[in-house]
Structure formats: structure tokens, C-alpha cells
Amino acid sequence: MTLLLLLLAVLTLVLLITVAKLHPFISFLMVCIGVGLIKGMGVTQLMGSIQKGMGDVVGSLMIILCLGAMLGKLVADSGAAHKIATGLIELFGTKYIQWALVLTAFIVGIPLFYGVGFVLLVPLVITVAARYKLPAVYLGLPTLAALSVTHGFLPPHPSPVALAQQFNANIGLTLFYGIIIAIPTIIIAGPIFSITLKKYTQKPIAIFSINEIPDTQLPGIFPSVLAAFLPVLFIGLDTIFNTILPQKNSFSNVVHIIGDPSIALLISLLVSLYTLGIRQGKSIMQVMGPIGDSVKEVSTILLIIAGAGALKQILLDTGMSSALVEPLKHLSLHPLLLAWGIASILRVSIGSATVAGLTTAGIVAPLILSSGVNPCLMVLATGAGSLFFSHVNDPGFWMFKEYFNLTVKETIKTWSTMETIVSLAGLIGVFILNYFI
């Protein structure tokens, strides 16, 4: 009966989002109230459970997501991403221009939200493709493969951070394992898959190209790369020191402080405010205006995360989570494959990778304690599943179609296939890591 109620709740969530076109936050709230009432919760208890679930998950993530949005906005508006791209193209040369763009997307994709990264990098790709007379899809899809992988696998992006919180996984280790899996995944879904893409010679609509920023107005290559990688450096150092030097001393305590994701992002933002803003001749008010606006981009994501946190708490407080553990434990599926599979089904049904991943977390989180599976790998398996086969119910599908001037059929053959390769390669990488750790 518990499993049937869960399936009914998930189906209702899918229908509310896809058919009724309600905002995911409203849909989560309606499903939480419905499940709570069916399970006999009183109104006071029900609303208390919802508020606790929202507060627990959002309270721990708000600092990270807001600071991450501010840093990403600064990287985008300062021209740092453009500088990284042009610098890498000069370094790699025309022959390896695709690799330069892929590496650019990986670097700037770490601090940038996916939507911001998409609208920032795709016009750059289109401009570069026109300049070097190369098919735009051939250059663009590998670039977006790198961007998609950072979005699904790597903190401080919203979904991996929220999943790490729900699975009680170490963010530093999740980032470390995520990078190990991300590199081969990007190569397979990007440059290798792109060998089949040279036949797509459609010219993108001219409106999507960009006017290049003069070099004199761009920041240097070092501060540009530093702004993107500084949070990763701080978090990574903390993870390494905790692994090789578990004994606490004054130096390791300092590393642990600056390696906390919130503090790492705050320090990175303050450094970048100077190197990408004030040092470039901008006043603090000129820099802070757009940065303040960037928080608006986080609001919808925070609402979705809050809704998913509420659903998880309802499942816990009604006893549904513990009741679900036993039947799920006896399934012949490995917990990592189960998490990937549920996230994949939800991704295909709903379209939103974030909603798919966080809904899955509420279902499979109890399995971590009972199965002993590594929670960091559960984050990555769920993230990989949430990227599976993007199609017509995903806004990213239509953005790619329109930017690159493709038909729906061509978009499925290119974009949807790339996302599926990312998902499957990520899953394989998770199981390989699971064998060794």
C-alpha cells in the first residue's frame, strides 16, 4: 500500500507539472498535503512537517547557491568567459578549436548556472564557427556536453549540492569523484560523438551571434581562470588534507575553514570583485548592481529545492520512508542503478533535471544507510539519471533547436542523443568508481 501511494504521488506530481503546467513548487506542495492527509496527519503536524523539510534543506543551501549565482554573474558580465575562450583558442590553435571550447565550457561551467552558461557560451560558439567556417553544431554540442556535465555532476551547482545535502554526502569528495567521472564523460559525449555531427551544416540565425569584446576591455587570462577555479581549489584542498592528514593542527584547521563551500565561495567572490571589477576600472556600485540582480535567478531553484525537501520530510514523518526501505532492499537492482533509473524516468516524464534528481533523493535516501552504498556516488548516479534523454518537455531542448536552427528530428538526433550519452557514461563511471572505493 505504501509503494502504491508513493507511485500515485509521483504520478500526480508529473501530471501537475507536465499537463496542468503548474509551477513545480506548487505541485510539490499539493502532493505533500495530499500524502500527509491520506496518511492521517493533522493540519498542524502536516504544515510543521512541510516547514521543517523546507527549512532544513534551504537553510543549508541558500548561502552556497546565492554566492554561486553572484560569482557566476561576475564571471559572465566581466568578459572573463570570453577571455578564457579566446585564450584557449590561441593556445590550442585552429586544428583543436573544439577542445578549446570544451575546456572553456568546463572551466566557466563550474561557477555558472546552466541557463546563464548556455546563453553566454552558445553565441560565442556561433561566432567562432562563422569565423573559422566550421559547422556550428559540430562545435556547439561538445561545448554544451561539458556544460551539462558540470550542471549535473559538480558542486557548487544547485542539484549536486542539494543531493549531497539530502544524502548526507561530503561536498568535497562529491566534487572530486565528479571531476573524475566528468572528464571521460565529456570526451565521449563531446568530441567523440561530434565525429557524427559534421553533416549538420545549418547556419544559425544571425541574431544569436555576438559582437566581440575588444581585448582592451577584457580581464587577463589568469584572473579569469582564477575566478572560475578558486572555489574548486579551496574545496579540493580541504578534501585532500582531510584524506592524507586527518590529524588536526592549526594549519589543517585554516584549510578546513577556507574549504567550507560557503566560505570558499565568499572568498572567491571577494577576490573576483577586485580582479574582475575594481581592478578593471569599475566602481563597487557598478559591480554590485548586476550581482544583486543575479540572486533573482536563484529564487525559482530554491523554491523547487524547498518543495523537494518538504516531500522528503513528509515521507519521513509519515513512516513511508522506512516502510519503503524493505521492498526496495529486496529488489535485485543495485541502489546506484535504482537511483539512476528512477531519476531517468522522472527526467523523461517531467523534463526538469533538478526536479527529477531531488524527487529521486526523497525516495532512495533511506537506502544509503541500509545498503552501505557511498553517498557521494549516490549523488552522482542520481545526477547522471537526471540528465537522461532531454526531449520536447525540456526547455533546453528548444533552446538548442532554435539557437542552432535545427528541426525537431535533428534536435533529437543531436541534443537528445548527447544528453543520453552523458547519462549512460556517467552511470558507467559511477560503477567503475564504486568498484575501487
pLDDT at 270: 95
330-333-336-340 Cα dihedral, nearest 10 degrees = -120
Rounded to whole angstroms, what are the CA distances from 73 to 277, 290, 400?
12, 7, 22
- Region 215-221 average pLDDT: 84
**Which amino acid is it at 248?**
K
Min mean pLDDT across 39-43, 179-183, 212-216, 336-340 is at 212-216
**Which amino acid is it at 157?**
H
Q: What angle (nearest 5°) sits at the alpha carbon of residue 361, between those of residues 336 and 150?
A: 75
pLDDT at 138: 96
Is pLDDT of 117 > 70? yes
Is pLDDT of 22 > 60? yes
Min mean pLDDT across 62-66, 84-88, 330-334, 394-398 is at 330-334
Residue 202 has what DSSP assignment? P
Residues 32-60, buried b or exposed e (16+ Cβ, 10 A)?
bbbbbeebebeeeebeebbebbbebbbee
Give backbone dihedrals phi and psi of 290, rounded to 5 degrees, phi first: -60, -35
Q: Is 111 exposed, middle or buried (0-12, 13-18, 19+ CB in 10 A)?
A: buried
Is pLDDT of 204 > 70? yes
Is pLDDT of 207 > 60? no
Is pLDDT of 72 > 90? no
pLDDT at 116: 80
Cell of 155: 558542486
pLDDT at 209: 59
Residues 311-334, buried b or exposed e (16+ Cβ, 10 A)?
bbbbbbbbebbebbbeebeeeeee
Phi-psi region of 40 (alpha: psi -120 to 50; beta: other; left: phi over 0): left
pLDDT at 229: 86
pLDDT at 127: 85
| Whole-number average pLDDT of the chain | 89
Cis peptide before 156 (omega within 30 of 0): yes
pLDDT at 105: 94
Instruction: Say which residues have a Cβ less than 8 Å from residue 22's Cβ, sequence separation at least 6.
Output: 16, 30
The ranges assigned to domains in the chain are: 2-436
pLDDT at 329: 62
Say if CB 384 and CB 340 are below 8 A apart: yes
Task: Identify which of 430, 391, 393 has the alpha carbon closest to the alpha carbon of residue 152.
Answer: 430
- In the structure, what pLDDT confidence band is assigned to residue 330 with cuts at 50, 70 and 90? low
Residue 112 has what DSSP assignment? S
Separation between Cα atoms, residue 13 and residue 139, nearest integer Å = 37
pLDDT at 192: 97
- Region 369-398 average pLDDT: 92
Contacts 24+ apart (CB under 8 A), 283-287: 287/74
Min mean pLDDT across 169-178, 186-195, 207-216, 325-334 is at 207-216
Q: Which residue has the higher pLDDT, 10 or 384?
A: 384
Tell me the chain's radius of gyration from C-alpha atoms: 22
pLDDT digits (tens, 9 = 90+) for 263-307: 999 999 999 999 999 988 888 888 888 887 777 777 888 898 899
- Region 223-249 average pLDDT: 83
Q: Which residue has the cell 579566446?
A: 86
Global confidence as pTM? 0.86
- In the structure, what pLDDT confidence band is assigned to residue 352 with cuts at 50, 70 and 90? confident
